[in-house]
Amino acid sequence: MKIMIDAGHGPETKGKRSPDGRLREFQFNSPVANEVKKQLKALGHTVIFSHQPNQDVPLDERTALANRLKVDLFISIHANAFGTGFNTVNGIETFTYSAASIGAKKLSSFIHQALVLSTGRKNRGQKQADFAVLRDTRMPAVLIECGFMTNQEELALLKSDAYQKRCARAIAFGIDCFSRN
């Protein structure tokens, strides 16, 4: 399969950081995306990034690239936030578009279950949203939230190499399982 991996927000996206500023979301998204790519390539998949390591890429450019290249799947990796300060909200969420295809829903299910089982984090469920990367892509698309930067326990996990690798391997496993069904 030809898969586009999107490391969420760019390195300079305003506001996408922990309340104490110790983690920018891209500092989590990018290494996870790199590891997902490594894992999927080892399984024989073609992987393309929608993001750039040193600049923010607008959402419409990301989705246009996916559509132009006619990738089979679009996966957007994120770290979540709730409010502007630290709080107790935590867990894993996986999103598809509100009018998602059956394929997108199945893909979401495979990835979501793999992430929840692998990380042991709270299952906040599979949800629907009108996010541009889900709405404007023409292939099954999923947006993954791997934990909350606004939760101190999850912030420590999001910053750790071990948790980043665990998330990446679970995401790659879920994608590969979907590709085989």
Domain count, the chain: 1
pLDDT at 12: 84
Which letter does DSSP use for residue 115 in this model? H
Q: Write b or e for each residue in 47-72: b if 16 or more Cβ atoms lie within 10 A of its Cβ, otherwise e.
A: bebbbeeeebbebeebbebbeeeebb
> What distance in Å separates the CA atoms of residue 30 and residue 38, rounded to the nearest whole number?
12
> What distance in Å separates the CA atoms of residue 89 and residue 111, rounded to the nearest whole number?
21
Q: Would you state the structure tokens that stand for residue 129, as one six-digit string?
A: 């949203």
pLDDT at 10: 86
CATH of the domain at 156: 3.40.630.40
> What distance in Å separates the CA atoms of residue 175 and residue 46, rounded to the nearest whole number?
12
Question: Are residues 96 and 145 in contact, defined by beta-carbon separation less than 8 angstroms?
Answer: no
> What distance in Å separates the CA atoms of residue 77 and residue 145, rounded to the nearest whole number?
7
Of 6-10, 84-88, 108-112, 176-180, the range with the lowest mean pLDDT is 6-10
At 148, is the secondary structure helix, strand, or coil?
strand
Q: Which amino acid is at 133?
A: V
pTM over 0.85: yes
Domain hosting 98: range is: 2-179
At 73, is the secondary structure helix, strand, or coil?
strand
The string of pLDDT tens digits covering residues 129-172 is 999 999 999 999 999 999 999 999 999 999 999 999 999 999 99
Owner of token pair 């490594």 = 38
Res. 97 pLDDT band, cuts 50 70 90: very high
Question: Are residues 78 and 30 in contact, defined by beta-carbon separation less than 8 angstroms?
Answer: no
> What distance in Å separates the CA atoms of residue 144 and residue 94, rounded to the nearest whole number?
5
pLDDT at 104 over 90: yes
